[in-house]
Amino acid sequence: MPAVHFVGARERYTSSNMIERFKGALEKGELHDLFSQGDLVAVKFDVGEKTALGYVRPPIVKAIVDAIYSCDGYPVLLDTLNMNTKASDVGRN
């Protein structure tokens, strides 16, 4: 079973910021074993909605892309489509 590396976003009093901790987790994971040199590697993430604040921050996506490049892969960024209906829209025509 693959290992899961957790990076707490709410950690406060540490010497490193969240991006540095995330990069450390990427280094601990065997990313280079997941694909071969020259492979296209899909990075699927949610870019958010116009009025929502819950989305993956660009520096985190950059850290993933940089890690894939360092393993000689070629990242392909994919948006996660959200088909949920807002509660405020239910019942409107």
Q: What is the pLDDT of residues 24-74, one digit of tens each?
A: 888 887 888 888 999 999 998 877 776 766 777 788 889 899 999 999 999
Domain count, the chain: 1
Asked whether 76 and 42 are in contact (CB, 8 A), the reply is: yes
Return the structure tokens found at 89.
């829209």
Q: Is residue 2 part of a domain?
A: no
Q: Does the structure show a pLDDT above 70 at 93?
A: no
Question: CA 7 to CA 93: how far, in whole Å?
Answer: 43
Q: Is residue 9 part of a domain?
A: no
Tell me, yes or no, if the pTM score tops 0.85.
Answer: no
What residue numbers bound the domain in which 57 lies? 18-80
> What pLDDT does residue 34 have?
85
Report which secondary-structure segment, H or E, holds 42: strand 40-45
Asked whether 75 and 43 are in contact (CB, 8 A), the reply is: yes
